[in-house]
A and B are shown apart, each in its own frame.
Chain A
Amino acid sequence: MQRVGVFVCWCGSNIAGTVDVQAVSDALKNEPGVVFSTNYQYMCSQAGQDIIKNAIAEYKLTGIVVCSCSPRMHEATFRKTAAAAGLNPYMVEIANIREQCSWVHKDILTGTEKAIILGKAAVAKVNLNAPLTPGETPVTKRALVIGGGIAGIQTALDIADAGFPVDIVEKNPTIGGKMAQLDKTFPTLDCAACILTPKMVDVAQNENIRIFSFSEVAKIKGFVGNFDVTIKKKARYVKEELCTGCGACTEKCPMKKVPNEFNLGMDTRSAIYIPFAQAVPKVARIDPDACNMLKKGKCGICSKVCAAGAIDYTQKDQYIEEKYGAIVVATGFNPISMDKFDEFAYSQSKDVITSLEFERLTNAAGPTAGKLLRPSDHKHPHTIVFVQCVGSRCDSCAEKGKEYCSKICCMYTAKHAMLTRDKYPDTEVYVFYIDVRTPGKNFDEFYRRAVEEYGVKYIKGMVGKVTPEGDKLKVQASDLLANRQLQIDADLVVLAAAIEPDKSARPLATMLTASMDTNDFFTEAHPKLRPVESPTAGVFLSGACQGPKDIPETVSQAGAAASKVIGLLAKDKLTGNPCVAHSDEMMCNGCSTCERVCPYGAITYEDKEFRMPDRTTKIRRVASVNPAVCQGCGACTVACPSGAMDLKGFASAQIMAEVDAICK
């Protein structure tokens, strides 16, 4: 028989306000096994914990029940208290009489009655508790970063700096991500490439970092500290280790009419190409959809001109298996498609472009060498209309846009408008907005400079329609402050398209069993206090995969994710959760039901020899749980038809005892 102590907390007036705590401790005194019962103002305080410790010693308690707040809040605290007094920490049960009782009831009689019942259930459970000891698992001291944009780059560099090896898996042929496509960065207007490309080189040169470019994560198994990951290295038809990036092949390739994705299709590239001059790794790739050799078996010029002998038309996808202790998701974002927003005539006119296309048009390495020229006729535009919130903050059109604010558009539009006026003072620039949202260090000052010093015409209101007519774009809009309709003959219309998570995020989340919100952004473990951790242990979040973010915010979150990874990898061993499933082999009938429902792959079957009552032996197929992989969700205990599966610390008998105590 256990010797149980009951400790009822007042939580100041949080509990004592609606629950008669004295009545609760008096009532629980008479429960089976209870040898001591008391109440105190703040049980979690030092003085409260001392009451528990002293009672454990004085009454030789073998189990304790604390009637207090949610176990999420202080279960760990009271387990530590018990351990300090020499009691196994898993002999502690919490009855939640705050969140589930005093906070939701107004009547003191009801509240007290319910608190007593909750206390009785906890006493009934602790009577059946057994001491548990957590197991330990080793930590693989290598991190995986999925995505090689500025978020992934920064995270990888920070982890590598702390001395741990890191692999970056990037689905494109080069790292750099969206930032590599940008021209200038707000609010300081330094050139994006000038601050990004040195970091890309750092990544390439860092001995602790390996880059798997043009690769994808194919499979993830395992758990925190011990992930087994299969990386698919897609065929690029060029031997990465031999290619010197000289570019001879790209010059000689006869197939030059392929839309260049780095410049968003505004110019062309060859079938064999290096994405841009500063690509890392600087290795060519053959586009199999455009290459004549791969499509028809005719050509082979690149192979002839390659001095390094790097071309390999027979290259196949390769699968690499690697172990990691931690995984960082840095899959980033994309602007949404403009298909459903054709009121702005994106599909009807080449001179209606997105903001990312505008970045390429003003970038010195872009299709116009940095000169702002209209895509249709390469003339200098004299009137430019910027439209903000295209697809963002769509509360009435959620099926075509996004309900959220994309956050970065106000600032980059101010940047585009200001730079246009600075370089081309003869250009009239209009910005249509719903609200201008520019919180952030030096952000609002930046926007005001665009208006006050550069004379950008900000108009509160939305554009209703863009009609291409001749070489003009007729922009029909409303000025809400002046309450009038506007007609502007524009030469160029720039759409600030909403941003959304990269399409690769959803399947990745499934592989990681990491949770996402309805917009496919990864969910953090706690929105305020654990912003860079996923609720799935060992999975961390970096950059825009968690929500829209600008570069400074991405970089700080990338560093934060890295520090969490370093904290994990610095440990030699991880203490596991002892509340895991186990199977009673004598009752197991080998049906495999548990194996099928286990979301973590923790259950395997083995053939075992058993002695039968008649002294013969028999080989039976029985379930076996890997305690290091089991997360203690309990799915198998519910599914098991013969009742062989049970969960330590939450045994079926314990749950039933609780139910009985409540229903008595």
Chain B
Amino acid sequence: MKVSYFPGCTLKNKAKDLDAYAYKSAAALGVTLEEIENWQCCGGVFTTARDEVATKLSSVRALKEAADKDQPLITVCSACHNVIKQTNHAMQTDKEFANKVNRYMACEKSYAGEAQVYHYLEMLRDLVGFDTIKAKVTNALKGKKIAAYYGCLLLRPNRVMQMDDPENPTIMEDFIKAIGATPVVYAKRNECCGAYIAMESPALAEKSSNAIVQNAKAAGAEMIITACPLCRYNLIKNGADIPVVYFTELLAEALGVKEDTNE
């Protein structure tokens, strides 16, 4: 299976692991990630100003390329996924916005949200299947108690993301089960880590991040996994005393393809 892939700028710098293991794991699962040509930063945040067009053009270009190739568009960073999915939804539902974008882009064929956007986790669940993953696991992470950390962005707004129940998600827990480990359910798994507030008020971010780590630990977690570079940054910077890793790293480990990655 060939899919279009939007890595995003963090994945080429601070979060190289997230990217590298995503490639390796996909290959092991028979999925070829075809990087969008000349992709640009998604902007990091989906601005809710409805007359704002410029920051959303990069997403539209990526979406359009995937649609032209008739491939699903995969993202792995929570923020990129959020921005691209929300932009696609706006192209589908907000005619005025879509017109403005299409006029600006001045392409031969206008774009109206035809692309299918999947988060990498959704790809694992809906396109590959957790059962297939279970069958391909060579190095099951037996007995490992892992806390899934969703953060605030991955599943919300639910109306647009349509990925999982934002209050009671199961997708990452199901993923943890598929790689043979034991998921730990804890209350704060979908709370915000503090995100960009870390710039303005580090103390507030520290409080939020600590509460999450402590809650996960109290529930018995030995490790936290996440899909979001900013979440991982905040949790580690604010003194997480258990490992916080990208879910793709564990997937690669379970599939037995981790070692040949050293970027």
CB contact list, B145-202 vs A, under 8 A: 158-159, 165, 167-168, 185-188, 191
Q: Which of A341, A348, A396 contacts B186 (CB 8 A)?
A: A348
User: With A400-B168, A467-B215, A469-B218 known to touch, is A342 a contact of B188 (CB < 8 Å)?
Assistant: no
A543 to chain B, nearest CB (A): 31
* Minimum Cβ distance to chain B for residue A497 (Å): 15
Chain A neighbourhood of B159, CB < 8 A: 396
B168→A348 contact, CB < 8 A: no
Supposing A467-B215, A469-B215, A469-B218 touch, asked if A340 and B187 sit within 8 A by C-beta, the answer is no
- Tell me which residues from 316 to 367 in chain A have a Cβ below 8 Å from any Cβ of chain B: 340-343, 345, 347-348
CB distance from B72 to the nearest CB of A (A): 24
The count of residues in chain A whose C-beta lies closer than 8 Å to any C-beta of chain B is 15
- Docked complex Cα distance between A244 and B167 (Å): 51
**In the complex, chain A residues whose CB is within 8 Å of the CB of B214:** 469
Residues of the A chain whose Cβ atoms lie less than 8 Å from the Cβ of B168:
340-343, 400
Q: Is residue A494 within 8 Å, beta carbon to beta carbon, of the partner chain?
A: no
A residues 26-55 touching B (CB-CB < 8 Å): none
- Chain A contacts with B in 378-437, Cβ cutoff 8 A: 396-397, 400
A467 touches B187 (CB 8 A): yes
Nearest CB of chain B from residue A345's CB, rounded to whole Å: 5
Q: Is the CB of B185 within 8 A of A347?
A: yes
Q: Report yes or no: A400 in contact with B187, Cβ–Cβ below 8 A.
A: no
A341, B169: Cα distance in complex, Å:
10
A466 within 8 A of B: yes
Contact assessment for B185 and A348 in the assembled complex, using a CB-CB cutoff below 8 Å: yes
Contact check, A465 vs B191: say whether CB atoms are below 8 A apart: yes
Report A-chain residues with C-beta under 8 Å of the C-beta of B167.
Answer: 341-343
B185/A342 in contact, CB under 8 A: yes
A147 an interface residue at 8 Å Cβ cutoff?
no
**Is there a chain B Cβ closer than 8 Å to A468's Cβ?**
yes
Q: Which of A463-508 contact B (CB under 8 A)?
A: 465-469
Option from B165, B185, B211 in Cβ contact (under 8 Å) with A340: B165
Q: How far is the CA of A47 from the CA of B23 in the complex (A)?
A: 88
CB neighbours (8 Å) of A342 from chain B are: 167-168, 185
A341 contacts across to B, CB distance below 8 A: 167-168
Q: How far is the CA of A469 from the CA of B186 in the complex (A)?
A: 10
Best-surrounded residue of B187, B214, B215, B218 (most CB of chain A within 10 A)? B187
Closest B residue to A339 using CB positions: B168
Binary contact readout B196-230 vs A (1 if CB under 8 angstroms, 0 otherwise): 00000000000000010011001100000000000
Mask of A279-318 contacts with B, CB within 8 angstroms, 1/0:
0000000000000000000000000000000000000000
Alpha-carbon distance between A448 and B215 when the two chains are bound, in angstroms: 38
Task: Closest B residue to A399 by CB, please name it.
Answer: B165
The reply to whether B165 and A348 form a contact with Cβ atoms under 8 Å apart is no
A394 smallest CB distance to B (angstroms): 11
A400 to B169, CA, bound (A): 12
Complex CA gap A468/B218 in Å reads 9
A375 to B159 CA separation, bound complex (whole angstroms): 37
Task: Output the nearest chain A residue to B158 by Cβ-Cβ distance.
Answer: A396
A212→B215 CA distance, assembly (Å): 51
Alpha-carbon distance between A466 and B190 when the two chains are bound, in angstroms: 12
- In the assembled complex, the CB of B218 is this many whole angstroms from the nearest CB of chain A, namely 7
Question: What is the distance, in angstroms, from A363's C-beta to the closest C-beta of chain B?
Answer: 30
Closest A residue to B188 using CB positions: A467
B residues in contact with A467, CB < 8 Å: 187-188, 211, 215
CA distance A465 to B214 in the complex (A): 16
* Whole-angstrom distance between the Cβ of B223 and the nearest chain A Cβ: 19
Docked CA distance A468–B220 (Å): 13
Q: Would you call B165 and A468 a contact (CB within 8 A)? A: no
How far, in whole Å, are A348 and B165 apart by their CA atoms in the complex? 18
B168: nearest chain-A partner, CB-CB: A342
**Shortest distance between the CB of B207 and any CB in chain A (Å):** 12
Given A469-B215, A469-B218, also A345-B187 (CB < 8 A): yes
Q: Is the CB of A400 within 8 A of B165?
A: yes
**Bound-complex Cα distance A260 to B165 (A):** 32
Question: In angstroms, how far is the closest chain B Cβ from the Cβ of A400?
Answer: 7
CB-CB < 8 A to B188: which residues of A?
A: 465, 467
Q: Are A468 and B187 in contact (CB under 8 A)?
A: yes
A-chain residues with CB within 8 Å of residue B211 when the two chains form the complex: 467
Q: Give bound CA distance, A342 to B188, whole Å.
A: 11
Find chain B residues with CB under 8 A from A397 CB.
165
A396: B residues at CB distance < 8 A: 158-159
In the complex, A347→B219 CA distance in Å?
Answer: 12
Bound complex: CA A348 to CA B158 (Å): 24
A573, B158: Cα distance in complex, Å: 60
What is the CB-to-nearest-CB distance from B149 to chain A, in angstroms, rounded to a whole number? 14
Considering the chains assembled together, what is the distance between the CA atoms of A341 and B166 in angstroms? 11
Q: Which residues of A lie under 8 Å from residue B158 when comparing CB positions?
A: 396
Shortest distance in angstroms between B75's beta carbon and chain A's nearest beta carbon?
A: 25
Q: Which residue of A lies closest to B212 (CB)?
A: A467
CB closest chain-A residue, reference B211: A467
Residues of chain B within 8 A (CB-CB) of A465 are 187-188, 191
Q: How far is the CA of A343 from the CA of B187 in the complex (A)?
A: 7
- Chosen A-B contacts, 16 in total, with CB atoms closer than 8 Å, are A341-B167, A341-B168, A345-B187, A347-B185, A348-B185, A348-B186, A400-B168, A465-B187, A465-B188, A466-B187, A467-B187, A467-B211, A468-B187, A469-B214, A469-B215, A469-B218
What are the nearest 10 A-B pairs in CB distance? A467-B187, A343-B167, A342-B168, A345-B187, A340-B168, A467-B188, A467-B215, A465-B187, A343-B168, A348-B187
Q: Which residues of A approach B to under 8 Å, CB–CB?
A: 340-343, 345, 347-348, 396-397, 400, 465-469
19 new A-B contacts, CB < 8 A, other than A342-B185, A347-B185, are A340-B165, A340-B168, A342-B167, A342-B168, A343-B187, A348-B185, A348-B187, A348-B219, A396-B158, A396-B159, A397-B165, A400-B165, A400-B168, A466-B187, A467-B211, A468-B187, A469-B214, A469-B215, A469-B218
